[in-house]
Structure 1
């Protein structure tokens, strides 16, 4: 049985907690919101067994990693320095980067702006969209008008944190097992200004079949200890990233790339896959996992592991 090891590493002036397994070429796994390195538990073992060194950090602000206070400490340019610094600390010149949710956006950006360090990229759930024509919050307001949208709700520091941290198990049941993040859901469309993410949401009494009680307890404990602020600060830097990284408008990802998405991922209604093909000319495959939702690598680990390993084995030596 593969042993997943844990340690802390210094990078870019902070300390990151990493989970790792195996030896061989480096594969860096970046989680999304509101998760941690634990989201990759199924992939760490599979990658190690296949002859890779799999490393999953708790991204700054999450889990056991450092959580700087300033909102701007979570902008994308700083995160890129975290990850390239982590490669340096591991003694590696390059890695394949794999990301899910916000981690996918980080992974695509790593590949686009640091191609000398990231030789291939896998995105899960969120395609590479480059740079919006206007700042993202303006774009969302133009799309949703007066309708409620969770990304806009997350912008005011302290508001979402207070809601989520009042009852972390309830919050996580609604996010992981319900439709709290689905903008097409009736409960989402019925929200009004001043409502919270959980307003009007039916919180499922039972967990989804892919999430055990032990897994859920682990996720809940981590968020009760860390709070939600660090992760939410990523959303609060979207406009700052737009200002700071104009090169994303034209930067092409020339490295080999793979995109995996759940068939039932609600994000598909917001982020059309076809629009990324011009910016990712070496996109090897788009794999839609039948019946899966947003948490695809946890919901369908066998299918996701097979896709990632097939992609890795086909890379140039």
Structure 2
């Protein structure tokens, strides 16, 4: 099943890999494959396209950046069994890394993708060289999660136009400048046989059990286990990760570095890709320099 057909002119994935249980995973890449591998994982309800600017900047800096659509998102397959939990996501990540043939990647994850990355490293599923978490930590704000759920639950019957899609996004992200062209929205929706536009994700993704207490305990244990170079990036306007939540993570993982992008919300890379990209490349230049030895 899918949400509908892709709109004409939307970018085809550069690569397709096989994830856990045969799930097809779609991805893009930037830079020289001989450079250090940086795997970029998006947040819930996003796609690999959220990383385009960051991927291009990393590629230009000497890294090999790979972004992929999580199962049930974008151009990746929907899970026939409806499994979209963290463990399934970690298994898909392992499959992509194996397909790429490099075993010590840098993991960069925003929101959902950050949780996947933290579990992958903290529970020894992936031997990573560095970890960058974007606006996510063990302790998050329920209000922010509720706001995300409300946004994703809009218009289950579908949007009548791309203008309606743009209005929904503008309401959820008032701090972001509204684009003059609607062309960029086309890659985030699908067109149904009824003429309605729907988000690219499997609706069952949102149906999973939300046990934030259990999630927090698991991620706290993962954070305490971290020994690799780690960077936490927070959006200063975020309603998901508060400053207290960020400090809580830094107490669990004292060697972590921290950047607060004061003018960004939860979607840090989308809101201030310039500041975000500079912060990431500066950190990696010291921790995992391209063509050099790790410091």
- Residue in 2 that maps onto 1:163: 155
Shift of the 248–100 alpha-carbon distance from structure 1 to 2, 3 Å rule, reads closer
What is the distance in 1 between the residues matched to 2:231 and 2:179? 23
Alignment of 1:176 onto 2:187: no
Quick one: distance in 2 between partners of 1:260 and 1:81? Answer: 25
Asked whether the equivalents of residues 262 and 294 of structure 1 are also in contact (C-alpha less than 8 Å), the reply is yes
Listed one character per residue, the Cα deviations across residues 231-281 of structure 1 (whole Å, up to 9, x for unaligned) are 424xx14439938x9654433222111111222122244962111123223
SS for the counterpart of 2:103 is coil
Distance 1:75 1:291, change over 3 A: same
Given candidates 47, 51, 55, the residue that maps to 1:44 is 55
Runs of 4+, deviation exceeding 6 Å: 151-154
| 1:118-133 equivalences in 2 (<5 Å) | 118-129=128-139
- Structure 2 gaps of 5+ residues are 1-11, 192-196, 289-293
Contact 2:111 2:135 in 1 (8 A): yes
Aligned-residue CA RMSD (Å): 3.5
Tell me which moved more, 301-310 or 216-225.
216-225
**TM-score, length-scaled by structure 1:** 0.72
1:25-64 equivalences under 5 Å are 25-64=36-75
Q: Quickly say closer, same or farther: Cα 1:277–1:246, change in 2 above 3 A.
A: closer
Q: Is contact 1:258–1:283 with CA below 8 Å preserved after alignment?
A: yes
| Paired residues of 1:97 and 1:120 also in contact (CA < 8 A) | yes
Q: Tell me whether 262-271 or 300-309 shows the greater mean CA deviation.
A: 262-271
Q: Distance in 2 between matches of 1:209 and 1:162?
A: 19
What per-residue deviation string (whole Å, max 9, x for no partner) do you get for residues 143-188 of structure 1? 99xxx9457879xxxxx758344227477435532248xxxxxxxx
Question: Does the C-alpha gap of structure 1 residues 217 and 240 become closer, same or farther in structure 2, counting only changes over 3 Å?
Answer: same
Count the aligned residue pairs: 267
Show the counterpart of 1:94. 104
**Distance of 2:232 and 2:88 partners within structure 1:** 24
- For 1:1-317, list aligned pairs within 5 A: 6-13=14-21, 14-23=23-32, 24-71=35-82, 73-114=83-124, 116-129=126-139, 149-150=146-147, 163-167=155-159, 169=162, 172-173=165-166, 176-179=169-172, 208-209=177-178, 212-221=181-190, 224=198, 226-233=200-207, 236-239=208-211, 242=214, 248-251=219-222, 252=224, 253-269=226-242, 272-284=245-257, 286-316=258-288, 317=294
Alpha-carbon distance between aligned partners in 2 of 1:110 and 1:225, rounded to the nearest angstrom: 28
- The 1:19–1:94 alpha-carbon spacing in structure 2 relative to 1, beyond 3 Å, is same
What SS is found at the alignment partner of 1:250? helix
Q: In structure 1, list runs of 5 or more residues that go unmatched.
A: 133-138, 155-159, 181-203
TM (norm. structure 2) is 0.77
